[in-house]
Structure 1
Amino acid sequence: MEITAFSVEEIKDPTNIIEGKRYELLLDVEIDEEDELYSEAGIEVRVIIAQHNEEIRMLNYFLIDKANNEMLDFALEEDEEALILQFVSEELNTEENAGE
């Protein structure tokens, strides 16, 4: 899996149920043709992230087939989740440093 494009948006939480900030990221990912997740149109991963102090964790994610905009009933493997979490951590740290 390779992340080819992304967008990030902070989600406002008026209830403050989750401490810290929350973000929604849309990741365009390239999947190997041999993988069961492969789609010719591409796959998008919608990720909900929580950030409190220095801790960043993945709350939830959804896999979407871009051909028909349908959610796929698959789970990512642990290494794919780790890849996404590392990517998100780097991007959020970059954005925070740019905002200072």
Structure 2
Amino acid sequence: MLTVTGYEVELVKDPYGILAGKRYEFVLDIEVPEDDELYSEQGLYIRVIYKVEEDSSGIVKYEIFERTTERYLEFEMEDDEIALVDAFCKEHLAQAAE
């Protein structure tokens, strides 16, 4: 199971009003156990695009990267990890700079 150790969040600007609702970009620093297939000595972070509309919110897209190399890792998170990230993002929306 992953653990979020730090984060940054910002509102994604939509100057033309093309997107419904609001989009936020989260960069989540994470730790995973050494026995997890996702583990990297370089450190990891997840880039998450999170949408908020009138009647729904949720993850649009996520990407996992090695911290020091910025290398994209083609891994899928498990359902419980996605739920954890979704709940974390929902809880921390208020910290986004508008």
Q: TM-score, with normalisation over the residues of structure 2? A: 0.89
Q: What letter is aligned with 2:60?
A: L
Q: Mean Cα displacement is larger for which, 30-39 or 9-18?
A: 9-18
Matching residue of 1:91: 92
Matching residue of 2:68: 67
Return the offset for 1:37. 0.6
Q: How does 1:5-16 map to 2 (within 5 A)?
A: 5-16=6-17
| Other structure's SS at 1:41 match | coil
Per residue, is there more helix in 1 or in 2?
Answer: 1
Q: Mean Cα displacement is larger for which, 38-47 or 7-16?
A: 7-16
| Other structure's SS at 1:64 match | strand
Taking the aligned partners of 1:87 and 1:54, their CA distance within structure 2 comes to: 19
Taking the aligned partners of 1:71 and 1:57, their CA distance within structure 2 comes to: 22
Runs of 5+ unmatched residues, structure 1: none
Taking the aligned partners of 1:64 and 1:10, their CA distance within structure 2 comes to: 21
Taking the aligned partners of 2:61 and 2:74, their CA distance within structure 1 comes to: 13
Matching residue of 1:51: 52
| Other structure's SS at 1:74 match | coil
Q: What letter is aligned with 2:65?
A: I
Return the offset for 1:56. 1.4
Check whether the contact 1:39–1:67 (CA below 8 A) recurs between aligned residues: no
| Other structure's SS at 1:17 match | coil
Higher relative contact order by CA 8 Å / sep ≥ 6: 1 or 2? 2
Change beyond 3 A, Cα 1:43–1:19: same
Instruction: Note the alpha carbon deviations across 1:29-48, whole angstroms, 9 max, x for none.
Output: 01110001101121100000
Check whether the contact 2:9–2:95 (CA below 8 A) recurs between aligned residues: no
Runs of 5+ unmatched residues, structure 2: none
